[in-house]
Amino acid sequence: MYSTISLAAYRQAAAAAQNVNGEHQARVLFPPPAGPNSAYLVLQEDAEEEDAKDEDVCCWGCCDYNRVRELPFPQDKCLTILYSSGSGQNQRTEQDRVYFIPVLGQSISSNCYYVVRAEGNHKGGKNASLRAQLPPFDFPIFQERPYVVVVGEWYCPFIFIKEVGTGLDDPKTQLMDSPFYKMELHKYWEEIHSVQVQAGEKDVSVNKTVRLEEGLLFGEEATEESRDEDGSVWFKGSGKQYGKTNGVRISWPIIAKMKEDHGRNRSEQGGGEVRVEKSFSGTASATKFACYVVVEKYVLKRMEGGIVLTYSFRNCNHIQGKWE
């Protein structure tokens, strides 16, 4: 995980490490604070930012000169990087707004970063334009798993997730094996009804109960949801590993954000059901009909790729029928 240090404190320590020959020894300063799965976040405090503006000016003091003049980069700021190509009249300058996240297991002075775009198609979080679209519907009825579109991905520090009965019960083991968990948001069509159509039959009625929310633990359908006093939500499975009933506790802020994102009440328990009653008309030549609902599913994975939990939201405002 990440510990924090102010940019001013780091620069003071680096200056103090300067030897008599004027050579910096900063490379040996601030190694990972807690082993290979840790690092420092260098934060630029507001007072430091104002001081930097006072010292860095151009145009005879009329304008701030906001370039980063030396490493390390402040890692709590969104920075703009510029790069140019060509020359003369053909020169072209492009820019990206990015965050620099330190690589775990490296000292501050290594200046090794993950670069995360704050804008564009490659930014972290949800792809709003992609999520606003319905998934492709041009698949055959017999296809068991329709196209899955990944419309978002995030990283969750392990402190928000507790595993039980999986071998990662001990926080130290969890930190070493999976300090971060990856959360993906998948969007796809799910079949809720299918029927063979009799010759000449052109109308089909659908009358089905659809569960609005569903959590699956390690792929198990039978999960029990309960809430701790601090708001954390437990997902408990029926299976056992290492002599314990397996389960996962997700901190309530993660669950609350997921529910709010889908217009659900923060306080309501998952598992509510609605009745879908719709009629569809097709052609006399069709021999099979299937009805689908749009699903948005959060998939929580360990760093090694193993799926821990999936949590699905079914959107009954988007239901379509398909004839073949």
Distance in angstroms (rounded) separating the CA atoms of residues 118 and 77: 11
Ordered by start, the domain boundaries in the chain are 2-117, 125-323
Q: What is the pLDDT of residues 5-37, one digit of tens each?
A: 888 888 888 787 765 445 545 445 678 776 665
Q: How many secondary structure helices (H) and strands (E) does the chain include? A: 5, 19
Nearest to 100 by CA among 78, 120, 119: 78
pLDDT at 250: 86
The more confident residue out of 295 and 45 is 295
Residue 54 pLDDT grade (very low, low, confident, very high; cuts 50, 70, 90): very low
The more confident residue out of 65 and 110 is 110
Q: pTM for this one?
A: 0.63
Q: Which stretches of the chain are assigned E, i.e. beta strand?
A: 2-6, 39-43, 57-58, 63-64, 79-85, 92-102, 113-117, 125-126, 149-157, 161-164, 180-196, 203-211, 213-217, 223-227, 233-241, 244-250, 273-281, 288-301, 307-323
Nearest to 201 by CA among 70, 289, 314: 289
pLDDT at 295: 95
Mean per-residue pLDDT of the chain = 77
Range of lowest pLDDT (135-144, 158-167, 188-197, 276-285): 158-167
State the maximum Cα–Cα separation within the chain, in Å, rounded to a whole number. 95
Nearest to 299 by CA among 222, 189, 186: 186
The pLDDT of residue 77 is above 80: no
pLDDT at 179: 74
The more confident residue out of 82 and 63 is 82
Q: What is the pLDDT of residues 135-171, one digit of tens each?
A: 999 899 988 777 899 988 777 777 778 888 888 888 7
The pLDDT of residue 173 is above 60: yes
The more confident residue out of 179 and 221 is 179
Inter-residue contact 215 to 314 (CB < 8 Å): no
pLDDT at 53: 46
The more confident residue out of 121 and 9 is 9
pLDDT at 239: 61
The CA–CA distances, whole Å, from 96 to 16, 78, 202, 269 equal: 35, 10, 54, 41
With pLDDT > 90 as the criterion, what percentage of the chain qualifies?
18
pLDDT at 26: 43
pLDDT at 21: 46
Q: What is the pLDDT of residues 212-256, one digit of tens each?
A: 988 888 877 656 666 767 667 888 776 665 556 788 888 876 777
The CA–CA distances, whole Å, from 150 to 69, 131, 295, 311 equal: 38, 9, 12, 14
Task: Give me the residues paired with residue 248 across strands.
Answer: 163, 235
pLDDT at 60: 44
pLDDT at 57: 45
pLDDT at 37: 59
Inter-residue contact 192 to 321 (CB < 8 Å): no
- Distance, C-alpha 245 to centroid of its chain: 27
Rounded to an integer, the average pLDDT of 171-176 is 78
